[in-house]
Structure 1
Amino acid sequence: MDIKSPSLFIVIGVLSTPALPIVLNVVWQLFGWKSRTLPPVVFHWIPFLGSAISYGTDPIRFLLRCREKYGDVFTFILFGRRMTVALGPKGNNFVTGGKVTQVSAEEAYAHLTTPVFGEGVVFDVPNEILMEQKKFVKCGLTIDHLRSYVGMIVDEVTNFLDTDPAFKHYQIGDMNSWGSFHVMKRLAEITILTAARTLQGKEVRGNMDKTFAQVYNDLDGGFTPMNLFFPNIPSAANRKRDRAQKTMSDFYVNIIRKRAEGKEHERDMISALMEQQYKSGKGLGEREVAHLMITLLMAGQHTSSSTAAWAFLRIAANPDVLDALYREQVENFGTGREGEFEPLTYESLRNLPVLDAVIRETLRMHPPIHSIIRKVTSDLPVPLTLAAPSGEEGLTYVVPKGHFVMSSPAATQMDPRTWKDSSVFDPNRWLDSKGVAAQALKTYADEHGEKVDYGFGAVSKGTESPYQPFGAGRHRCIGEQFAYLQIGTILATFVRKLDLRLETNFPENNYHTMITLPKDPCNISYRRRN
């Protein structure tokens, strides 16, 4: 070849620039050797980064688009990790119903949760210990506890409406003009106050001041998607997180020690946890109790506040749904006196089909967590019913040890192959006893089917349902019933008192946070009901 050939200079230029890794990555994907037992890999330009931008911007759109090209099982690169996605109900079962000898939630999440929740709890312990800890928490979520929580939540919401500056139009009894509130900010405050009053106890609720709020915000600052992938970055946010974790841990330990000295206290979650023992006979240590309380405060507040905010946005954008909710309140609790209702109770909340349908439809379209991840701890075959044979008859995919598997309840719940008009908010789909929604709920709840005890009491697996708003299998959320109670009570109390309207276009999803939140602007207008 002529040394002066332009093509030679092009080759030399490419080989000597930062573009070389990209070129080699593309060439390998197009022409390199491919194992027949590995799922297809989503094409990507930049090594290590992979599909992080597309997935992080809109994971549901990304996953459903990849399914069209690669099928229900495929792998994509996410910050150097190989994520094998399994979509649909069978994909949900493959990941959330996986055996602990093959997949691990602890190895997928411990580096994210332990610095925030604290050592010795949740994913910082072996799975069998976590299952016992979940059983301990359930002792504070009995029916009797739930019954007592309804009045507490109503009192907190009513007091918030009576005192918060955003609701001054309500406070002065103005029924003609409209006020406005930022739904995410206000619902975040309301859910943490109601959770503190019910699950956390009077001491915690009594300390909900600006100092506590700052500690909480600093701790929350370490609970981000970046911490999931880069947990050890020496950032200011992580240093604040670590200081806040110690401060909050000490705060709970101080309460526990005072109670141990015989100080009077009410029956609450702290007292329930202080009484528990592992199968070995060892009781929960004060730090374990403290860190479980932090877990309840952090995890519950995030999921409930986001779901409540989305529910408010949906009913504000659909006046007919809001009217149906109000009529249901009048028909069931109206007293005949203007503006007054009979008190809400645990039993009455369970018999409000419109309210239940609104919450379930909100969770279908806006589940708090869009993707569930497990780390593969031993080579994991993909069932033939999920993945088509990858070449030879009887040969299917195998996900190697060290890779990750991922399911997406959010993608399944928005899948047009399962749900008619999947992008339309339609609570009525849950009122059709023979419809897809009712069958999905039946599979998820499986109230009359076979139960499984993973170590925290018998529960339905729910792993093959196309509706999994609280996860499924051994890691199914134990706060599910409390969440319905909390969100339902908040929603019903607001609906009784306020008319609501959405100020702007319906907000888009913000996928850059651990929990899927609405983007700004997300203000709601309100006026006092007459």
Structure 2
Amino acid sequence: MMLVLLANIAYAVSGCLVLIALNVARQLLFRNKSEPPVVFHWIPFLGNTISYGVDPYAFFFSCRQKYGDIFTFVLLGRKTTVYLGVQGNEFILNGKLKDVNAEEVYGPLTIPVFGSDVIYDCPNSKLMEQKKFVKFGLTQSALESHVQLIEKEVLDYLKTSPKFSGTSGEIDVSAAMAEITIFTAGRALQGGEVRKKLTAEFADLYHDLDKGFRPINFMLPWAPLPHNRKRDIAHVRMREIYTEIIKERRKNPDIESSDMIWNLMRCTYKNGQPVPDKEIAHMMITLLMAGQHSSSAISSWIMLRLASQPEIIEELYQEQVTNLGSGDGSLPPLQYRDMDRLSLMRNVIKETLRVHSSIHSLMRKVKNPLPVPGTPYIVPTSHVLLASPGVTALSEEYFPNASRWDPHRWDNQVEKEDEGEMVDYGYGTVSKGTSSPYLPFGAGRHRCIGEKFAYINLAVIVSTIVRHVKLFNTDGRKGVPATDYSSLLSGPVKPAVIGWESRFPNKL
């Protein structure tokens, strides 16, 4: 029996070695010169998955040095063609709808989380209408009203959270910012009723739903895994919460307000159909997760960066005293117009978005063979295209000392990110935007429409914290934690602990 077992093991090992040998021979001897060069890998199917997954940017820069801006790597059996640089961003992010498709890549991952008939579970024309509905809900007056709501949420958190009990202490900044940003996004984007429901139960639901964004779900979104079962239960319950709110509002139409739920309840598709309650609920789930995810990661990085360079915190505080103060050292409540007077605050956010973009890869499925202008390459339909605007943002050719976090690098730079050709994909005229090396919110038809809210949310959160709290590293660390790339949206490795101290003890 033992001999049989050993023989079977030997056959399996021999088979694996043969497959590896054939894989290596194919790469060395049978390259298709009309396709981009393939990054060398030993093991079939697995390919370059581990190198890419551990540190995507290190992988991209290493491959760029060896192969140039265009190369193909194997990601869990799928050939993925990367095109780096501003030309690559243009080629992929502004690709024609008939040639590149986002739904086929992201749909399996997002549909179980966001729900049916929205985002990547509907025709692109319908998605553009939905983006238009949401964009029109983010009006100038709405953004102006958000400032006071966000400031109040942050102040309440500083006053009541055990994490900020006393006059000094230590916090896991990732956990604290996750809570703060779900409160601010919930209150500002979704209204008072939703904010009241952001209790422990809702937080647990959100956490379970968020597990659906694990990278394995690109391949196995419907697998009967424990985190997928929790995801599905959480989605059903969160949809019920939203539909209950919508039904109650329909019973009392005279108490209409200006939040996003009311906005969507008033919207009608081009075919004359009002937006169904189920779709409103699914769009609200999407908005909550999108508004919280990016703000949580970026605000955590801002806090970590400020703790590692406390002198910037004092500059931010003095900027408020100088530009917003009344002369006696006191600071009035924040207002929307104040944001334009806080240039360093704006630059802190811009620099953090440059260095710590939470999305390192933007993918599209190739639908038609795509010739790459200026090259002999044609990308076949069996490939997925991948753009990484974060690579240009981290490139020395555009940003000297690119790896250094330096908000002052923006002090004298002319704004370029919104220049260029304008286009209307169906949700309002926007810039194609890909001529800039700085694209923190993407570009093309899938450019994030919530960027103005993101800036306001981050600016108010950070400004409020800076008014009341000083931050510092407690372990002698000079820099910040490493980046955790194990999730679809990357953030700092957890726990990320920093020290804090009340600026004015007993005055908050």
Same fold (TM over 0.5): yes
For structure 2, the 5+ residue unaligned runs are 1-9
Superposition map of 1:99-178 within 5 A: 99-169=96-166, 174=167, 178=168
- 1:324 aligned onto 2:295: no
Q: Which residue of 1 aligns with 2:5?
A: none
Q: Which residue of 2 aligns with 1:497?
A: 468
Partner of 2:32, secondary structure, is coil
Equivalent position to 1:210, from 172, 189, 200: 200
Equivalent position to 1:26, from 24, 40, 55: 24
Instruction: Tell me whether 401-410 or 255-264 shows the greater mean CA deviation.
Output: 255-264
Equivalent position to 1:357, from 319, 343, 347: 347
Report if the CA contact (8 A) 2:421-2:433 is conserved.
no
For residues 521 and 221 of structure 1, the distance between their equivalents in structure 2, rounded to whole angstroms, comes to 18
Q: Which residue of 2 aligns with 1:289?
A: 280
CA offset at residue 18 of structure 1? 2.5
TM-score, reference length from structure 2 = 0.94
Equivalent position to 1:248, from 232, 238, 246: 238
Instruction: Note closer, same or farther for the CA distance 1:110–1:13 as it changes in structure 2 (3 Å cut).
Output: closer
Residue type matched to 2:411 in 1? L
Equivalent position to 1:279, from 267, 270, 281: 270
Report if the CA contact (8 A) 2:174-2:495 is conserved.
no
CA offset at residue 330 of structure 1? 0.6
TM-score, reference length from structure 1 = 0.90
Partner of 1:84, secondary structure, is strand
CA offset at residue 524 of structure 1? 1.6
- 1:485 aligned onto 2:447: no
Report if the CA contact (8 A) 1:333-1:343 is conserved.
no
CA offset at residue 417 of structure 1? 2.6
Q: Which residue of 2 aligns with 1:199?
A: 189
Percent of residue pairs bearing the same amino acid type: 48
Equivalent position to 1:65, from 53, 62, 78: 62
Equivalent position to 2:325, from 310, 314, 334: 334
**Per-residue CA shift, 1:251-282, capped at 9, x if unaligned?**
11111111111263532000000111111111
For residues 368 and 291 of structure 2, the distance between their equivalents in structure 1, rounded to whole angstroms, comes to 32
Report if the CA contact (8 A) 2:323-2:341 is conserved.
no
Q: How many residues are paired up? A: 491
For residues 286 and 201 of structure 1, the distance between their equivalents in structure 2, rounded to whole angstroms, comes to 16
Partner of 1:19, secondary structure, is helix
Instruction: Note closer, same or farther for the CA distance 1:14–1:265 as it changes in structure 2 (3 Å cut).
Output: closer
Partner of 1:18, secondary structure, is helix
Equivalent position to 1:457, from 422, 428, 432: 428
Residue type matched to 1:520 in 2? K
For residues 341 and 88 of structure 2, the distance between their equivalents in structure 1, rounded to whole angstroms, comes to 33
Equivalent position to 1:79, from 76, 98, 121: 76
For residues 498 and 210 of structure 1, the distance between their equivalents in structure 2, rounded to whole angstroms, comes to 26
CA offset at residue 511 of structure 1? 0.5
Instruction: Tell me whether 499-508 or 280-289 shows the greater mean CA deviation.
Output: 499-508
Residue type matched to 1:30 in 2? L
CA offset at residue 521 of structure 1? 4.0
Instruction: Note closer, same or farther for the CA distance 1:307–1:20 as it changes in structure 2 (3 Å cut).
Output: same
- 1:179 aligned onto 2:169: yes
For residues 502 and 100 of structure 1, the distance between their equivalents in structure 2, rounded to whole angstroms, comes to 47
- Aligned-residue RMSD, C-alpha: 1.5
Report if the CA contact (8 A) 1:81-1:403 is conserved.
yes
Report if the CA contact (8 A) 1:276-1:283 is conserved.
yes
Report if the CA contact (8 A) 1:42-1:76 is conserved.
yes
- 1:524 aligned onto 2:498: yes
Superposition map of 1:466-481 within 5 A: 466-481=437-452
CA offset at residue 104 of structure 1? 0.4
For residues 349 and 161 of structure 1, the distance between their equivalents in structure 2, rounded to whole angstroms, comes to 21
Report if the CA contact (8 A) 1:14-1:20 is conserved.
no
- 1:509 aligned onto 2:505: no
For structure 1, the 5+ residue unaligned runs are 1-11, 390-395
CA offset at residue 383 of structure 1? 1.2
Partner of 1:405, secondary structure, is strand
**Per-residue CA shift, 1:357-415, capped at 9, x if unaligned?**
0000000000110110000011111111xxxx4xxxxxx10110131000111122111
For residues 139 and 283 of structure 1, the distance between their equivalents in structure 2, rounded to whole angstroms, comes to 16
Equivalent position to 1:432, from 389, 404, 412: 412
**Per-residue CA shift, 1:492-528, capped at 9, x if unaligned?**
0000111111224310000111111101341121111
Residue type matched to 1:156 in 2? E
Q: Which residue of 2 aligns with 1:9?
A: none
Report if the CA contact (8 A) 2:90-2:435 is conserved.
yes
**Per-residue CA shift, 1:173-200, capped at 9, x if unaligned?**
x4xxx31111100000000001111111
Partner of 1:221, secondary structure, is helix
